[in-house]
Structures are given as structure tokens and as C-alpha cells.
Amino acid sequence: MQFSTIPGYAKQKLNLTQLVQEERLPHALLLAGPEGSGKLALALALAQYVLCRNRTADDSCGTCPSCSKAARFIHPDIHFSFPVIGSNVVSDMHLAEWRRALSYSVWMDKHYWAMALVGEKDSGNKQLNINKDECHKIIQKLSLKSFESGYKVLIQWLPEHLGNEANRLLKIIEEPPAKTLVIFVAEQTEQILPTLLSRCQLVKVPAFGHKEIGQYLSDKHGVPESEAETLAFMSEGNLFEAIQMAESRTTNEAGIFLEWLRTCYKGLVGNMLEQVDLLCESSKEAQKQFLFYGIHFFGEVLKQKYVKTLHLQLQVDAAKTAENLSGILDVDQIDRMLQLLNDRFFYIERNANEKLLFLDLSIKMKKIFRREDFVDIFESPLPGVLNIK
Ligand SMILES: [Zn+2]
């Protein structure tokens, strides 16, 4: 992949390309950043850049035979090492899944990777690890002669899973064969053995900015601008998460949300329970999407409240409901509904009990609709208080 396809990170890109241009590449680099940041993508772009036969000052050419192999993750001089599941298992046994996962998304996180390895059902209770055999494989790969270009690169994803096995790699990293580059790509540097850490040149890769994510979603995934902005904000700089939310937007999300909202408005508890059950049967992504749509919807209601002539970024039905609601609800009620949906979005990310969460949300929405969510001690004193003689 080319640097130009990665949004943002101007400083890191300059830093990395200069290392190559000025022939100052260290033996080992450590790209460290949070989940959903561009660290793995930058590692892939750097490997391609190092091996490109036609590189410019700031990027690989993208078309030479070397680039074309690197782009498909099959360049013989780009080696991969990553955590896997199970004992006696090494990366090479899962190269096909690895290439497939990278082709799906270079922003992927370890949860997605675990799922790609063992399926969604089992991924939660299986531990990713890098074992002794994998360390021997790494040493073996680094000791090989390069096939094509003189340089060979090893991308080691998530060295935090090495644990103490990292000790086995110290020697080869300290004194590697010529023209060898190891790029570690890590999330939690505090879990890496200090002796390994101290042998790497560190490049920090912060989370993406909201602007970059928003732009990426509208350019690459056709998400309308205002929705992309909200998704960017909700994803907290995690591009993988933002893309997943964008992709799971269903065409009927408006219908599902509006029906639920109507039920809350009418306060029909039986229907509420039915809809909560339905929501709980859907996937976590769909539940997040439901809440996300609600946040977007009430954001539009709020806009309508302030600027009457605004064109709402909603489908016809939803826009009509939003207009009606902006007439019925005051700003404070809309604010509280938004806050409620926002809170629930973050709770569900942190594995709250879904049934309780959606039931509680439905009842609170009903109360806000009816302005019953405040107990004003002056207007409605607690029973008994007035009976004191
Ligand atoms: Zn090239």
C-alpha cells in the first residue's frame, strides 16, 4: 500500500520516508499507536517504499512489480509475524487468513483478527499468543537471503503478545544480517519487554482525527457528510470501528428507530418489551447502529429547532417526524434525549446488559416525552410531606 492512501500522519510519513532517503534506517522500528490507528498501514506502506524500484521522495510508485506484490501482501521479501491462537501454531500456518484479513482492512484490530482465525463464536474466549516456535521462525526468516531487492523486511504485529519470549529475539535485533528491517507494530508498549523496547526506534502513531475519519468515510464509503461527522466523533479516532459502523448502516435503520420512538412516545409498555427483545436478538453492531442513528436523528431535530428552513439529512419519513418533533419538544428535552442515546452508545460498547439497557432507555425516553423525568420537590412534594401538622 502507498502512503498516499493513508489519511493524515504527515509528520510520521515524512519521518519514515526520510529514514529511507537518507539511508538512516535502523535495524528495528516500533510503530506504536492505539487500536484503529494507522500503525499497521504505515508499516505496510514503509515496507513497500523500502522495496519499490521507482520510489519518489515521498511515496512508492505503486506500479512496479515489487509494489504490485507488496500491495497483495505476497512480496517474498516482506515477511509477516503475528499472534495466533493455540499451541504449536505459528504465523505461517495462517498466512492465507492473514492476507485475507489485510485485504479486508489494513485498519483491523485484534478482535477482528481473532474472529478471522476461529470464528465469531469462539473468538471471545481464545487467547492470541506468540510462542517460542514463532520466535525461531522469526530468526530463521531474518537470516534468509533476500529474494529480490537486497532488502528484507519483517513486520511483526502486536509484539506485546511475545511476553518473555521476546528475549529470544534480542540478539538478532541487535546484530541482524545486513539490509534487514524489523518493523514492530504495537498497541500497548508497556507490555513489551523493556530490553526489546530499548532496541527499537520508536515512532508514535496517534489515533486518527475526527476530520480525517469523516473525510475517509465520505470519500471511500459514500457516507453523507453530516452522518460521517457523527460517526467520526462516535468512533473516538478508531477508523476500523468507524468503517464497521458505516458499513452496517441498514437501509431500514430509520424505520426501526422511528417505530421504537413512536412506541416510547405512546408509552405502550407491551410494545416496548417486544421491540427491546427484537433489538437484543440483533448483533452488537446493529444495536450500536440503532443508537448511532438515534443520535444522528436527534441531532437533526435539534438543528431543525434552531434553523427552520434547513434541509435535513434524513430520508423523507424521518425528516417529517423530525419536523413534527421539533414542534413538540423543547431544546432541553431534545438535549436530554441526545445525552441518553449517547450514554447508552458508550455503555453498549463496554458490554452492558443489553436487555436492561434498552428497556431502561425506552422508559426514560417515554418519561422525557411526557416531562416526567424530573421530580420537582416544590411542585410535587413527596407523599406525606404536606400532612405534617
Ligand atoms: Zn514501486
Q: 109 Cβ partners below 8 Å, 6+ apart?
A: 35, 36, 238, 240, 241
**C-alpha cell read off for 40:** 499497521
Q: How many residues does the chain have?
A: 389
Residue 151 CA, ligand 1 centroid: distance in Å: 14
What was the pLDDT predicted at 70?
A: 97
> How many angstroms from the chain centroid is the CA of residue 11?
22
Pinpoint the alpha helices (H) of 146-252: 170-174, 194-197, 210-221, 225-234, 239-247
Residue 70 CA, ligand 1 centroid: distance in Å: 9
Residue 93 CA, ligand 1 centroid: distance in Å: 28
Residue 1 CA, ligand 1 centroid: distance in Å: 10
| Amino acid at the residue 92 | D
What was the pLDDT predicted at 372?
A: 81
* 81 and 91 Cβ atoms separated by less than 8 Å: yes
Sheet hosting strand 201-204, strand order edge to edge: 78-81, 152-157, 180-186, 28-32, 201-204
Q: Distance between CA 301 and CA 329 in Å, rounded? A: 9
**Protein residues with C-beta less than 5 angstroms from the ion ligand 1:** 52, 54, 60-61, 64, 67
Residue 54 CA, ligand 1 centroid: distance in Å: 5
Q: Distance between CA 310 and CA 325 in Å, rounded? A: 15
Q: Distance between CA 297 and CA 278 in Å, rounded? A: 21
* 318 and 355 Cβ atoms separated by less than 8 Å: no
What was the pLDDT predicted at 206?
A: 97
* Domains of the chain, CATH where assigned: 3-206 (3.40.50.300), 248-369 (1.20.272)
* 39 and 31 Cβ atoms separated by less than 8 Å: yes
Residue 320 CA, ligand 1 centroid: distance in Å: 53
Place of cell 465469531: 120
Residue 79 CA, ligand 1 centroid: distance in Å: 18
Residue 9 CA, ligand 1 centroid: distance in Å: 21
What was the pLDDT predicted at 268?
A: 86
Task: Per residue of the chain (389 residues), give pLDDT as tens.
Answer: 999 999 999 999 999 999 999 999 999 999 999 999 999 999 999 999 999 999 999 999 999 999 999 999 999 999 999 999 988 899 999 999 999 999 999 999 999 999 899 876 676 667 899 999 999 999 999 998 888 768 999 999 999 999 899 999 999 999 889 999 999 999 999 999 999 999 999 999 999 999 999 999 999 988 888 788 888 888 889 999 999 888 776 667 788 899 999 999 998 888 999 999 999 988 888 888 899 889 989 998 998 888 776 677 777 778 889 989 999 999 999 999 999 999 999 888 887 889 999 999 999 999 999 988 655 444 443 333 333 33
